[in-house]
Amino acid sequence: MNQWVNRRDLFVIVGASGDLASRKLLPALYRLSHDVPADKRFRILGVATDSERNDEAFRQKILKEADELAGVKIDQKWLDETLFYQSIGHGGPDEYHALAARVAALEKSQQLSGNRVFYLALPPTIFPLSITRLGEAGLNQSDGWTRLVIEKPFGRDAESAEALNRLVHKYFEEKQVYRIDHYLGKETVQNLLVFRFANSLFEPLWNRDRVESVEIVVAESLGIEHRGRYYDTAGALRDMIQNHLTQLLTLTAMEPPASFEADAIQHEKVKVLKSIRPIGPGDVVFGQYARGEIDGKPVPSYRQEPDVAPDSHTETFVAMRLRISNWRWQGVPFYLRTGKRLPSRVSRILVNFRCPPVSLFQPFACSSLHPNALMITIQPDEGFDVQFEVKTPGLPFRVVTQNLHFRYSEAFEPSPEAYETLLLDVLLGDATQFVRDDWVEASWRLYTPILETPPTIALYPAGNWGPKEAERLSASPLLGNAAAS
């Protein structure tokens, strides 16, 4: 991929002192460009509040933290040639005008193209101020193109998302804005469109006539990992359902786009959201993990985690049933499930096909045939499995379920990291895997009523597949059946 970064752009990371920059962004940019000659390589400007730090001190910080946090050993020569630092102090107007002057000076001294990326690696509460300051300092435009990358969560509900979009559009055109969701950079997610629309075997079956149900599972064995202050004000619906799982839902359920272009694909994804019926109280279960065991080791309850209120009612698990009222999916339930402190880490889409209308094999004690299923694994082992029924050799007559499987790791060289893929897309101006303003607002409008009147929290022991109350909102009797298959 390095041939595609043979360019002289400027990548500005606002919030470069945080974990995201050291753990994900700078390692990804290094992998993209480490073997590109310095005179043809982009430059990176890290921006943070530390006024005591300079270029060299920042390079040494990244050298150490990229190794410790991401296991990436960045070459010192690459750092010296590529990475620079600018303080914005308390983030006032003068500091951002100084940033604008530093950007212009770097572009001149490094003979850059005038193309700029501004990546907001910041807590969401700081987005409005940073966007305003960038716009007021004139950093929303340049001699080339300017692109703004914003991390999730984009808003907390429908009202705040709409307000943030209005602020963004005050200074940036929508075509300049890249709302990033790292899930969309995973190879299996990117391959969903190819899988569906390039294979005539599957697309004719992808409808209410052949599909019984669809289940989308994102399970995590970890807890909140020192993010208590953030997580206790967010919860699983804001942190996972509104973005990651809903992106997977719209990619799975969308109609064929008019073309393989960003706007055409985004248009079909938004149509799915607008076709979802209002979610009723009986369609949602919230859970919160209690004390339990993971891999044989005791773990505390959510309320015992650092920076979590001892009487917190924040959900760490959500099970949900959605109904899409359109010609393709009418009557087919879509189940979304996510949770922390579950038995294993897995992200999968399970498409359950309908059983044959009549079983021919009851005389042979084969009345309990399993329906065919397609399992799309997003992590940890990316690939596809098709489950089907076959007869075992010999007597007695017996039918068992077998798999046809495909794994990226078996067919290809190691896939690039999700951030590596998405940052390259930003540099190339490809917005296909990013989130458009109307998608964000439609998604929040769908889930905000639940946030305004949340269901009662059901406790579940850490190491289990969620509360028992959630079993009715599943294509399988238990979440574990889908996750462990």
Q: How far apart are CA 49 and CA 484, in angstroms?
A: 46
Instruction: Report domain extents, the chain.
Output: 2-151, 185-416+436-484
pLDDT of 481 reads: 44
pLDDT of 65 reads: 92
Please identify which of the residues 244, 267, 370, 405 carries the catalytic annotation.
244
pLDDT of 368 reads: 66
pLDDT of 91 reads: 93
Contact (Cβ atoms closer than 8 angstroms) between residue 389 and residue 367:
no
Per-residue pLDDT of the chain (485 residues; tens, 9 = 90+): 455 565 799 999 999 999 899 999 999 999 999 888 998 999 999 999 998 789 999 999 999 999 998 899 999 999 999 999 999 999 999 999 999 999 999 999 999 999 999 999 998 899 999 999 999 999 999 999 999 999 988 999 999 999 999 999 999 999 999 999 888 888 888 888 888 999 888 889 999 999 999 999 999 999 998 889 999 999 999 999 999 999 999 999 999 999 989 999 999 999 999 999 999 999 999 999 999 999 899 999 999 999 999 999 999 999 999 999 999 999 999 999 999 999 999 999 999 999 877 777 766 555 567 788 999 998 888 889 998 888 889 888 888 888 899 998 888 888 788 899 999 999 999 999 999 999 999 999 999 999 999 999 999 999 999 999 999 888 765 444 444 44
Of 235, 230, 227, 239, residue with least CA distance to 305: 227
Contact (Cβ atoms closer than 8 angstroms) between residue 231 and residue 309:
no
Q: How far apart are CA 143 and CA 8, in angstroms?
A: 13
pLDDT of 3 reads: 53
Give the Cα-Cα-Cα angle 162, 285, 321 (nearest 5 degrees).
Answer: 70
185-416+436-484 matches 2-151 in CATH topology: no
- 1-19 per-residue burial string, b: 16 or more CB within 10 A, e: under 16: eeeebeebbbbbbbbbbee
pLDDT of 227 reads: 87
Stated as kind and residue range, the H or E segment containing 434 is none
CATH T-level fold of 2-151 = Rossmann fold (3.40.50)
Extended strands (E) in 271-364? 284-290, 292-294, 297-299, 317-323, 333-339, 346-353
Contact (Cβ atoms closer than 8 angstroms) between residue 155 and residue 128:
no
pLDDT of 6 reads: 59
Q: Is 169 a catalytic residue?
A: no
Output helix, strand, coil percentages for the chain, rounded to the nearest 5. Answer: 40, 20, 35
- The structure tokens listed for 234 are 């967010």
- The structure tokens listed for 367 are 């009345």
- The structure tokens listed for 474 are 């599943």
pLDDT of 482 reads: 43
Superfamily of the domain at 185-416+436-484: Dihydrodipicolinate Reductase; domain 2 (3.30.360.10)
